[in-house]
Amino acid sequence: MNKSAYMEVLMMSMTGTGLAQDAGAIRLPPPETAGGMPLMQALKERHSAREFDSKPLPLQLLSNLLWAAGGVNRPSGHRTAPTARDWREIDVLAITADGAYRYDPPTHALVKVAAGDLRSLTGTQDFVASAPLNLVYVADFDRMNGAHAENKLFYSATDTGFMAQNVYLYCASAGLAVVVRGLVDRDALAAALGLGAHQRVILAQTVGYPAGSAQ
Ligand SMILES: Cc1cc2nc3c(=O)[nH]c(=O)nc-3n(C[C@H](O)[C@H](O)[C@H](O)COP(=O)(O)O)c2cc1C
């Protein structure tokens, strides 16, 4: 490990989530792609929860979660979730107390897109401000080559559903509380995130340890 990589790891280990540093991109540890709960059991346990502990999520868990949402799972670059015509038009943003980050699947890294704690802007329900992580699914309509304008929202909403369900199943397996959310002030959040006219907030999803479970 070279010196700057070592410093990055050191800085990550000094914070709750490892995301407090103002780095351009934060490499995530490789996802743990073996083990976990058997699929049928995860399906049995999947449910929405709306009470979260505020304890930050460790970087390894974040790595696993984001990979489940839409990470690269084949040498071809294809993802854990399907997208219509392989457009890969959905960006997953991770909104934590430390800032807003875009998950970059090819490099399995987080790229900072906004500073400060924007959690309260990710939804209209109280728990979004204190839960450690809110994912925001953002469609980039410019990537949807050949799609009719009226179909862009339809397909990007569909594609988001697959990703959100992957997160639900990972959370069931990892014992995390999670709820996908449409109750979002999309204009306010888009402005805070600096989104362009070609981008659209589709859904948000809150993740954390179940209330009262974290030590
Ligand atoms: C597209 C979509 C939008 C949703 N929006 C919200 C929301 O804004 N707030 C919320 O608390 N739950 C939201 N939910 C969660 C549903 O209320 C929940 O899935 C439903 O009550 C069934 O419960 P279950 O997920 O435990 O099976 C949403 C679910 C979906 C699929």
Distance, CA of 92 to CA of 67 (rounded, Å): 10
- Bridge pairing between strands 133-140 and 25-27: unpaired
Q: Find the mean pLDDT for residues 106-127.
A: 97
The CA angle 148-150-156, to the nearest 5 degrees, is 90
Q: pLDDT value at position 16?
A: 38
Residue of the CA atom closest to atom 12 of ligand 1 = 181
Tell me how far the alpha carbon of residue 24 lies from the centroid of ligand 1, in angstroms.
34
Tell me how far the alpha carbon of residue 49 lies from the centroid of ligand 1, in angstroms.
9
Mutate to test the pocket of ligand 1, among 43, 128, 179, 207 (most ligand atoms within 8 A of CB): 179
Per-residue pLDDT of 13-57, as tens digits, reads 333 344 434 456 999 999 999 999 999 999 999 999 999 999 999
Atom of ligand 1 nearest to the CA of 48: 26
The CA angle 54-41-205, to the nearest 5 degrees, is 35
β-pair partners for 46: none
Tell me how far the alpha carbon of residue 186 lies from the centroid of ligand 1, in angstroms.
17
Six-digit token pair at 67?
Answer: 């990979």
Long-range (24+ apart) CB contacts under 8 A made by 29-36 are 29/59, 29/60, 29/63, 30/63, 30/108, 31/63, 31/64, 31/66, 31/67, 31/68, 31/71, 31/108, 32/60, 32/63, 32/64, 33/67, 33/73, 36/170, 36/173, 36/174
Tell me how far the alpha carbon of residue 167 lies from the centroid of ligand 1, in angstroms.
13
Q: Find the mean pLDDT for residues 178-207.
A: 98
The CA angle 96-121-173, to the nearest 5 degrees, is 45
Answer whether 182 contacts ligand 1 (Cβ < 6 A). yes
What pLDDT band is residue 2 in, cutting at 50, 70 and 90? very low
CB atoms within 10 A of CB 129: 16
From the list 136, 133, 139, the residue with the least C-alpha distance to 177 is: 133
Six-digit token pair at 130?
Answer: 């204190």
Could you identify the residue written with the tokens 């974290």?
214
Tell me how far the alpha carbon of residue 46 lies from the centroid of ligand 1, in angstroms.
12
What pLDDT band is residue 214 in, cutting at 50, 70 and 90? confident
Would you say the C-alpha torsion 103, 108, 111, 116 has a positive or negative sign?
A: positive
Is 80 exceeded by the pLDDT of residue 210?
yes
Confidence (pTM): 0.91
Tell me how far the alpha carbon of residue 48 lies from the centroid of ligand 1, in angstroms.
7
Do the Cβ atoms of 109 and 28 come closer than 8 Å?
yes
Answer whether 183 contacts ligand 1 (Cβ < 6 A). yes
Distance, CA of 31 to CA of 121 (rounded, Å): 28
Answer whether 48 contacts ligand 1 (Cβ < 6 A). yes
Could you identify the residue written with the tokens 């805070």?
192
Amino acid identity of 159?
D
Residue of the CA atom closest to atom 13 of ligand 1 = 181
Is 80 exceeded by the pLDDT of residue 73?
yes
pLDDT above 90 coverage of the chain, percent: 86
